[in-house]
Structure 1
Amino acid sequence: MAIRERGSNGPRVRVVPYKNRPYGLRWRRADGSTRELSSGCKRRRDAERAAVELEIDLAQNDPDSPRLLWSLFRERYEQEKLPQLSRKSESQWVTAANWLERTVAPTRLSDVNKSMLSRFTAKLRERGLSESSIRSYLATLLAALGWACDVDLIETVPRVRLPRKAGGQKMRSRPITSEEYERILMTVAKVRPHDAEVWRRFLQGLWHSGLRVDELRRLSWEPAAELSIDTSHEFPLIRMLASGHKSRRDEFQPVTREFWNLIATAPPNRRGYVFPLPGRKGQMRPSNVVRVVSEIGKAAGVITDPVKGKTATSHDIGRRAFLTRMDQLLTIPELQKWARHASPDTTMGYYHHRTAVELGRKVWTAPS
């Protein structure tokens, strides 16, 4: 194969060697920033050919062309579409796109076809990722390709069959008991000796609120915040703006007396986060919060999934345990509304065991 003439109007692409992985292709953009792609080549000569191809593409690249470089498509998607999505969707996209680049390294948007996504799936399985994670990453990538189709960057979206959802019981990881909750609180100082009280209070907030970790982490005293405490009603409420939580609509969330008593002890000049968790740049990131809580659950030795040997997570300690306790007080529709589940099937499938209990009671209390 003859090497084509380098692009004369574009940036110069350098071949960068790496140990135990393909050569990289690096270039400097007009704004002075540096970008890099994997060449997918382990031989230098092949990487140099790829560099020539890339230079030509950079010199002639049309932002509306199907030959658009993957890196430029990602940049455009993150500028034009991602701001419309929730924080969770943004995080899922970044994770899925990073996995795609690490495992199959697309050069152009058009490379991300049915064949590449099949190889991507196989690579993720080789890395030991669960079927639910693979399904989530594929769905996220297909949504991005759907947007690319909507704006005429590609003609069609690849038809990919997603891995089937696991059948059977959804709530294999059980909610923790009150005794286990107390044990976890007593273990906090072993994992976080320097800020034990901060994390003990956060765990109490999870236990008494039923909020998701990121919701509790972002809960604020500031009225303009996406998630804020509102004391202008008969009972304290949490005001949730559409942009601040999963259901994507403005609503109010009730709180329990125990949760209010926990946070009402804050200083009179209530400002900022209700549960401050200092990180490197302001409030700690949600992934780090989840990791710390999991470390505390593991140190406490609270096993919530005996099949896989998993220990208590933030979901087991907080939302799942809370909704299980509330099951004794609320009807199914009320529990669904409190949990903000779009479908009652979610409430029934993950948290609700009342039907089985009621059937058991009829059998056990029936006259012999």
Structure 2
Amino acid sequence: MKRRTILKLGAAAALGTALSPVLASAPRGKLTPVKFTLDFRVTSQTSPFLLALAKGYYAEEGLDVQIDVGSGSVASITRVASGAYQLGLGDISALIEFRANNAGVAPVQAIYQYYNRAPFVIIGRKDRGVTEDFRSLQGKRVAGAAVEAVRRSWPIAARRLDVPEDLFDWVTTDFSARDNVVVRGDVDAATYFHDSAVSLFARMPPEQLSILSYVDTGAHLYGNAVIANPTLLQEQPDIARAFLRASNRALRETLQDDAEAIAATLKREPMLNRDVERERWAICRQYIAGPETQRVGLGGVDPAVMQTQIESVATVFGLARTPAMAEIVTDDYLPEAGEREVTA
């Protein structure tokens, strides 16, 4: 996708590449404070951002970045919309819903597609007859939180599979109890962000489990993206560009060798287990650098795929309106294409 030919936001584009007032006027050596919220707690799934901080990549770009834990991808969107954070990680489908339902709220946009594929999976017990075929879930009991992305996106996957949405029975379960109900056998399967299932794998041998990925249904759903407050994009666009350059640099390094990124994660959260976090990252990288990434580059999207997702979410979530693509995502702040090539 060519930069500045697709997905442009007029107000941001009008600012062009002029230096932001903050960066232009800051004395040499003075850093500009930036607040960035994760979608959830610190784990290796977001280790590239911690690596960029630890190695001084943000500082080299003139930024003093504060990285805070989040409480869910929807909460991170509201944090950024409120202005409490300039930048954050939020789920694209949740952003589509947010923009459709909050016309009078700050128009948050995605500026870097972190997860090229949403890591949505259903994991089932083989001894309950669950195989890697989604149709094996027919009549089963599947645990899922009341409001969470994997459960809410199931109708999109079901339509791709041409199976009924009520193929199985939902058992509403809190996230914290999900592993327990699977291990005890209270349910036959449960929804997961794939990387979060490392906790289940520590309690049940993976060979006893079947992993059913939404990716395999043919449903291409983009996942978490770096999202930005519109005031930042309009008034200080070079801060957004600088943040993405540093983050993208660290992501490329982590895809090549995860050792330093895992170390940075453990330094931030010493209670984490190195082997578990390496296992988690090995799962995450499959979704961050998907097959499409070879063509669109890290952080990029295919406009046709994004448009399909917007329309699917609008239909399945019953949105009052379908947001325009330019409301959801812009490529105006991405690093140059050559800097976003996947070399891992």
Q: TM-score range by the shorter chain?
A: under 0.3
TM-score (norm 1): 0.23
Q: Which has the higher strand share?
A: 2
Larger radius of gyration: 1
- The structure whose RCO (Cα within 8 Å, separation 6+) is larger is 2
